[in-house]
Structure 1
């Protein structure tokens, strides 16, 4: 990832917190012909034994699942983002841009083939995304659960390289950024509200 000066994350912990907040990501893996395959998946992001582990699952029919153990995958986490109009800038000679935050995680995956471990991985995902559903899940028959598990390819990926960028108009003046924040906060798009909060944080951190 190309990261210009001033757009870096402050720490690995900040990158991980971002991934956990925006955990629906795109996983990209080359096949044996070096053609990239991509799938959008919800991930569970966990840390244990000093390792950063991403877990998810493909549909068993997804061709990409065949290659994730053989080749390094790239997982892209990329929310929030928004178009930024040059009307917020004081200089007439200005152009539009796009503000965004992105984290790129690299690593090779390991398939989870044991049925009990696949069940555990599914329950971890339920616990992360909708803990209230666990009671209903637990009431389902083992036959139904087994059928669901047979239809997926579950995996864990140990992150070996983690890169990130926060492009939040850091090269603009405080007044210009405040104008951008005010505009984004008026949007009907909640993602743009989130972006406004991140831009505001850059101003707050600068004031410290």
Structure 2
């Protein structure tokens, strides 16, 4: 990840916030057969002192990724979007792409079947609890456990991370407000979630 001091994020709490809001992750593993990537949702273990995420992969992704055998990189991609130089009110500029991204590094720990069942249940709760009538694994445990047999649960305690929030920090207040307005409700390239992230960063 490019090291641009204005954009670097070093606060683990900000990385946790990003994972909570953008839990769809890309797992990248440098295997004996070359690079392999898979995509799964992850959740934070909130009681862990550092950053610890749990999830699962479907078999045989565990073997393809060589899960648990060495370090992997997990990419968390938050809000992102195109920024037009036309939004800069005549200030000389070129197109760019604003984004919030984190790379997490660590060696996955393979979970036991019972811990995998708990983690899968927590994962379902994480998303279903917002529904008017949550449909949870424990409501149909026999079927849920039969599906679980096709998965491998893992925990990744993050050894280190690289995170970047490129949100027009190097621009004037007027330009930032223009970009936020266009991303919020412009006719082209609107990205309200990115606008909200920019507004939050700008108001710090």
Q: How high is the TM-score relative to the length of structure 2?
A: 0.89
Q: Is the 8 A contact 1:123 1:134 kept in 2?
A: no
The RMSD of aligned alpha carbons is: 2.3
Query: In 1, distance between residues paired with 2:163 and 2:57?
Result: 25
Relative to structure 1, the CA distance from residue 37 to residue 185 in structure 2 (aligned partners, 3 Å threshold; closer, same or farther) is same
- 1:161-188 CA-to-partner distances (Å, cap 9, x unmatched) read 0221110011111111111111111158
Q: Indicate the structure with greater helix content.
A: 1
Match of residue 98 from structure 1: 97
SS in 2 for 1:79: strand
Match of residue 154 from structure 2: 155
- 1:87-107 CA-to-partner distances (Å, cap 9, x unmatched) read 122455421000000011100
Relative to structure 1, the CA distance from residue 188 to residue 48 in structure 2 (aligned partners, 3 Å threshold; closer, same or farther) is farther
Relative to structure 1, the CA distance from residue 115 to residue 100 in structure 2 (aligned partners, 3 Å threshold; closer, same or farther) is same
Task: Structure 2: state its 5+ residue gaps.
Answer: none
Runs of 4+ in 1 over 4 A off after TM superposition: 63-66, 132-136, 187-191
Match of residue 197 from structure 1: 196
Give the deviation of 1:201 after TM superposition: 2.1
Match of residue 4 from structure 1: 4
Q: How high is the TM-score relative to the length of structure 1?
A: 0.87
Task: Structure 1: state its 5+ residue gaps.
Answer: none
SS in 2 for 1:68: coil
Match of residue 58 from structure 2: 59
